């Protein structure tokens, strides 16, 4: 067998902060989508979101038969999305950087011609795509069909529903970015989960103690600040009602930007 | 030595972690196409040095060049030209050995696929993993991981290979294989490696540096270190009353010390001398004329282990 010479191989052409990004993305992508991981997650989210929403739809139909009020289906969707979405992301994402730092695979990957920025971006992009796809997009599509076929709500406006889904995506992305940032600041999974939980419950219970919190809380994208009176942003988009405030949306986008910036800056200074 | 002939050249390279000074002003010169052993006890600063060279840590002060590039400013370019095997190599467990090598190659090459596949196969052959290339790494033994580690480090035709304890945790067969692979690679690349297995160093290395407590104690070609700048040692086994002979021998200007030990064959002295010619001429006659029977007289061959421990002990005094 003749040996390969380096001249037969084309060198990677990425420059600047993108050095190594393509290969890192491919590697991370294969860890999700070239293994059983993605469909296991999909099944889990289907069971949680669509299973629970299926129960809500059945309960609503039964209540209608009995002439009483059923559970508020879209409100419950927001509630499940906020609770399980945030906690699910914390569990999945807490391992992303910390485990790689602890096991030495981060140091190994960074011994190759890659930038630290590319490393963080690859972990963010692929995990975000995988989590958003399995926990929001696919369950959302199934829910849309379920509501149209089996619930009193009927076929919601597809554009309104998609706009509502965007709020679910943004809410989930908020937690992805936050937990990723914590992965660069802390060295233990327990610490990451603990801090994330504190923030989550501060947003969950905080508005009853400090009402202005509703304007900066990412939860308000998908759960109502005052059930029966005000809709969440997602609920407003889905039902065509006016939104109560754009501030939660602006605040969430700004927060995500800050989290990602801090994660990149911090990881660039981190010693491995 | 011209600085252009140096693959690694550090000046005053230092690293502190809070109050702990892990590396103190290291001046290291690694010549091209050498197998350079970087030795020291645990915690001496070996892995810290490697991490500084790779840009995984930032120096507290000082700096250095690899292949003429600055270790801080040009770190990514440096990493495009070197290969690295970490201590206790860990890779992504969901990948097979072949996938790991393909993934590693992807950091350097974008194609063509056929040439990358060919290079991956060459590396699998180089380290003898043909039968296991398509098995997940999860089930690999320590030795197999280490071989894979060498293969991934070599995949980009590096000018410099940095190996952190390449033969640690391997059985004798695994160690022999790793040393053989290193010997094969030396034709193409400089190898800088740290280890605590001194036997291996003597077999394959041509340059040695010893660090202790973060400081470079010595750096020299291995032959120079073995022939020594230190004292020669003569081993003599004696029978009879040694007291007066001991006094006479220790009074000689060329004798720097005597260590005694009792064994079944008699009393053994390890006589350290500063002048070998004088020892050859006079030591035996001094002993015989003192009425002693000499059943063994030999010059003790220094091995790297003796040299290493002597140097470490002296550096601690």
Whether B198 has a pLDDT exceeding 90, the answer reads: no
Assess whether the previous peptide bond of B112 is cis (omega < 30° from 0).
Answer: yes
Nearest to A108 among B91, B106, B156 (CB): B91
**B54 at A interface, C-beta within 8 A:** yes
For A6-21, what is the mean pLDDT? Answer: 91
| Percent above pLDDT 90 for chain B | 51
Q: Name the average pLDDT for chain A.
A: 93
Q: What is the pLDDT of residue B233?
A: 84
pLDDT of residue B60: 96
- The predicted-structure confidence for B39-97, as pLDDT tens digits, reads as follows 988 889 999 999 999 999 999 999 999 999 999 999 999 999 999 998 888 888 889 99
**Which of these ranges, B129-143, B261-275, B278-292, has the smallest mean pLDDT?**
B261-275
Q: How confident is the model at residue B176 (pLDDT cuts 50, 70, 90)?
A: confident
Instruction: Check B94 against A8: CB less than 8 A apart.
Output: no
Q: What angle do helix axes A37-45 and A138-150 make, rounded to 10 degrees?
A: 30
Question: How close A196 gets to chain B, by Cα (Å)?
Answer: 27
SS (H, E, C) chain B: CCHHHEEEEEEEEEEEECCEEEEEEECCEEECCCEEEEECCCCCCHHHHHHHHHCCCCCCEEEEEECCEECCCCHHHHHCCEEEECCCCCCCCCCEHHHHHHHHHHCCEEECHHHHHHHHHHHHHHCCCHHHCCCEHHHCCHHHHHHHHHHHHHCCCCCEEEEECCCCCCCHHHHHHHHHHHHHHCCCCEEEEEECCHHHHHHHCCEEEEEECCEEEEEEEHHHHHHCCCCEEEEEEEECCCHHHHHHHHCCCCEEEEEEEEECCEEEEEEEECCHHHHHHHHHHHHHHCCCEEEEEEEECCCHHHHHHHHHHHHHC
Q: Do B115 and A6 touch (CB under 8 A)?
A: no
- Give how far A22 is from chain B: nearest CA, Å: 8
Q: What average pLDDT does the segment A103-127 reach?
A: 95
At A126 the pLDDT is 97
Q: What is the pLDDT of residues A145-163, one digit of tens each?
A: 999 999 888 899 999 999 9
Question: What digits encode the pLDDT tens for the residues B246-281?
Answer: 999 999 999 988 888 887 778 899 898 888 889 889
Binary contact (B106, A23; C-beta < 8 A): yes
> Is residue B229 over pLDDT 60?
no
Predicted pLDDT at A1: 47
Chain A contact for B253 (CB, 8 A cutoff): no
Query: Is A221's pLDDT higher than 90?
Result: yes
Tell whether A104 lies on the interface with B, counting CB pairs under 8 A.
Answer: yes
**B86: nearest CA in chain A?**
A108
Q: How far is B231 from chain A (nearest CA, A)?
A: 42
What is the number of residues in chain A? 272
Residue A194 pLDDT more than 80? Answer: yes
The per-residue pLDDT of chain B, averaged, comes to: 89
pLDDT at B1: 59
> How far is the alpha carbon of B78 from chain A, nearest alpha carbon, in Å?
8
Q: Please indicate if any CB of chain B lies within 8 Å of the CB of A268.
A: no
Q: Check pLDDT > 50 for residue A27.
A: yes
Cβ-Cβ pairs closer than 8 A, A with B, add up to 94
User: Is A114 touching B (CB cutoff 8 A)?
Assistant: yes
B contacts of A112 (beta carbons < 8 Å) = 79, 104, 107-108
Comparing alpha-carbon positions, the chain B residue that sits nearest to A267 is B56
**Section A114-133 average pLDDT:** 97
Question: Any chain A CB within 8 A of the CB of B20?
Answer: no
Q: Using the predicted structure, report yes or no on whether residue A70 has a pLDDT greater than 80.
A: no
A interface test, pick of B17, B50, B56 with most A CB neighbours within 10 Å: B56
Q: How confident is the model at residue B179 (pLDDT cuts 50, 70, 90)?
A: confident
The answer to whether A20 faces chain B, any CB pair under 8 Å, is: yes
A23 touches chain B (CB under 8 A): yes
Please name the residues between 198 and 237 in chain B that touch chain A, using a CB distance below 8 Å.
none
Interatomic CA distance for residues A28 and A6, integer angstroms: 26
Mean pLDDT lowest among A101-105, A169-173, B97-101, B171-175: B171-175
Phi-psi region of B261 (alpha: psi -120 to 50; beta: other; left: phi over 0): beta
What is the reported pLDDT for B228? 64
Q: Could you give phi then psi for residue B273, rounded to 5 degrees?
A: -125, 150
- Mean pLDDT on B5-17: 95
Report the pLDDT averaged over residues B136-144: 87
Nearest C-alpha of chain A: how many angstroms from B64?
17
Please indicate if any CB of chain B lies within 8 Å of the CB of A102. Answer: no
Identify the closest residue of chain B to A104 by CA–CA distance: B90
Nearest residue on chain A to B84, alpha-carbon basis:
A111
């Amino acid at each position: 067998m003749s040996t390969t010479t380096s001249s037969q191989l084309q060198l990677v052409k990425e420059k600047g902060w993108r050095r190594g990004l393509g290969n890192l993305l491919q590697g991370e992508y294969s860890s999700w989508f070239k293994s059983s991981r993605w469909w296991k997650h999909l099944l889990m989210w289907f069971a949680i979101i669509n299973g629970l929403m299926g129960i809500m739809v059945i309960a609503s139909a039964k209540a209608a038969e009995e002439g009483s009020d059923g559970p508020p289906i879209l409100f419950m969707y927001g509630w499940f999305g906020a609770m399980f979405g945030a906690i699910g992301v914390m569990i999945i994402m807490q391992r992303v950087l910390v485990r790689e730092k602890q096991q030495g695979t981060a140091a190994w990957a960074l011994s190759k011609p890659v930038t630290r920025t590319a490393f963080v971006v690859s972990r963010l992009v692929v995990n975000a795509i995988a989590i958003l796809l399995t926990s929001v997009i696919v369950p959302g599509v199934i829910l849309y069909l379920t509501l149209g076929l089996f619930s009193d709500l009927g076929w919601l406006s597809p554009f309104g529903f998609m706009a509502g889904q965007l709020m679910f995506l943004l809410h989930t992305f908020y937690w992805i970015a936050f937990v990723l940032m914590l992965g660069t600041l802390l060295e233990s999974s327990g610490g990451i989960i603990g801090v994330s939980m504190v923030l989550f419950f501060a947003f969950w219970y905080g508005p009853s103690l400090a009402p202005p919190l509703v304007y900066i809380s990412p939860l308000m994208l998908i759960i109502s600040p005052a059930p029966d009176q005000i809709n969440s942003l997602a609920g407003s988009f889905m039902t065509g009602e006016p939104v109560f405030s754009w501030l939660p949306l602006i605040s969430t986008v700004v927060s995500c930007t800050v989290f990602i910036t801090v994660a990149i800056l911090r990881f660039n200074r981190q010693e491995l | 030595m011209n600085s252009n002939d140096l693959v690694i050249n550090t000046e005053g390279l230092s690293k502190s972690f809070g109050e702990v000074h892990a590396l103190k002003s290291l001046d290291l010169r690694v010549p091209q196409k050498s197998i350079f052993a970087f030795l020291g006890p645990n915690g001496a600063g070996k892995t810290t040095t490697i991490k500084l060279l790779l840009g995984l840590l930032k120096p507290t002060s000082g700096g250095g060049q690899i292949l003429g590039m600055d270790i801080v400013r040009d770190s990514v370019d440096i990493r495009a030209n070197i290969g690295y095997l970490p201590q206790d190599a860990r890779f992504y467990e969901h990948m097979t050995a072949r996938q790991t090598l393909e993934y590693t190659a992807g950091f350097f090459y974008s194609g063509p696929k056929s040439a990358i596949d060919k290079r991956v196969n060459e590396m699998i052959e180089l380290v003898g993993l043909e039968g296991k290339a398509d098995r997940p790494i999860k089930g690999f033994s320590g030795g197999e991981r280490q071989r894979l580690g060498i293969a991934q480090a070599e995949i980009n035709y590096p000018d410099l290979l940095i190996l952190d304890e390449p033969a640690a945790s391997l059985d004798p067969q695994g160690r022999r294989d790793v040393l053989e692979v290193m010997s094969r690679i030396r034709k193409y690349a400089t190898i800088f490696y740290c280890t605590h297995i001194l036997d291996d160093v003597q077999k394959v290395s041509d340059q040695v540096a010893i660090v202790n407590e973060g400081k470079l104690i010595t750096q020299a070609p291995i032959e120079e270190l073995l022939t020594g700048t230190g004292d020669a040692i003569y081993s003599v086994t004696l029978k009879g009353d040694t007291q007066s002979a001991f006094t006479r021998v220790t009074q000689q200007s060329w004798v720097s010390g005597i260590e005694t030990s009792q064994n079944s064959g008699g009393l053994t002295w390890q006589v350290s001398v500063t002048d070998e010619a004088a020892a050859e001429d006079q030591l035996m006659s001094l002993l015989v004329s003192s009425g002693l029977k000499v059943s063994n007289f030999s010059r003790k061959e220094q091995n790297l282990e003796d040299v290493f421990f002597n140097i470490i002990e002296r550096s601690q005094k």
